[in-house]
Amino acid sequence: MHKLLYLPLFLFSVILAACSQQTAVAERSDGLQARPSQLDEVAAAFALDLGGARVYIAPAEIEYSKRFSSPFRRHYREKDYQLDLRERQRLDALLAQAFTEKLLKPRNARQVLEQVEADYTLSISLQRFSLAAPLEPSPWAWRIYTEQSAYAELKGTLYNRDGSAVMHFRDRRDIGENLGSAGPGGRLQRFTNVTFWSDLRVDMRRAFASLDKSLL
């Protein structure tokens, strides 16, 4: 009789231990809960509801790195691989538009331009950001072909009025990656200012669409 009772109790303890281990994995030091996602990482506060919220999207921070090699690099300066003020403003507008379309509009929320008016503030960054080539053409290399336009690690944190994080996401992205059979990594396309911004827009919309699904 005791042996018959021991097996179910043993199985119950194993299941309970497994559940406890999964809970421990999902817990974070900031109190956010990990969410299943196609992105590398998404975590959010329990029952986060952005319905009707006003969100201020801060200017993006960029951390540059050298990732691509090119025989023409010796002809360029370091700043040739960085975004100037006008391009930074264009980047901020692109990120804000993609985030608004994919996350805010479906929740009847909206972007506000003044932080004092906001219920939440989104801090966003592109880390290890690397352009495949300079955005401005050069007589040294007026036609360049690449497998992708850029690389970046997209990171973002959403804060409430009290300054507490209520959502965090992270994803490594090969921006404008061209998959195909030509070559070991993919097919080549001509790199231009136009293709870079087009590739970036597509990839950011994809990233925020995946984020939207993670928060449903």
Rg (CA), the chain: 22
Joined together, the tokens standing for residue 36 give 């299943």
pLDDT at 67: 73
Domain limits, the chain: 50-214
pLDDT at 140: 57
Give the pLDDT of the chain (216 residues) as one tens digit per residue.
444 344 454 444 444 444 444 443 445 566 899 999 999 999 999 989 999 999 999 999 999 998 766 655 566 778 888 999 999 999 999 999 999 999 999 999 999 999 999 999 999 999 999 998 888 866 555 677 778 889 999 999 999 999 999 999 999 999 987 644 344 455 677 778 898 999 999 999 999 999 999 998
pLDDT at 180: 45
**In this structure, which topology does domain 50-214 adopt according to CATH?**
Rossmann fold (3.40.50)
SS (H, E, C) 122-150: EEEEEEEEEECCCCCCECCECCEEECCCE
**CA proximity to 210, closest of 94, 99, 58, 45:** 99
* Pairing assessment for the beta strands 150-160 and 189-191 based on DSSP bridges: unpaired
How many C-beta atoms lie closer than 10 Å to residue 207's C-beta? Answer: 22
State residue 143 phi and psi, 5-degree precision: -140, 115
pLDDT at 182: 45
Identity of the residue numbered 63? E
Joined together, the tokens standing for residue 61 give 């921070």
- The three-state secondary structure class of 112 is strand
Q: Which residues fall within 8 angstroms of residue 51, CB to CB, at 6 or more apart?
A: 107, 108, 109
Q: What is the pLDDT of residues 90-132, one digit of tens each?
A: 999 999 999 999 999 999 999 999 999 999 999 999 999 999 8
pLDDT at 92: 98
Q: What pTM value is reported for the model?
A: 0.79
pLDDT at 177: 77
Residue 79 CA from chain centroid, whole number: 24
* HSE-CB for 187 with a 13 A CA cutoff: 6
Identity of the residue numbered 79? K
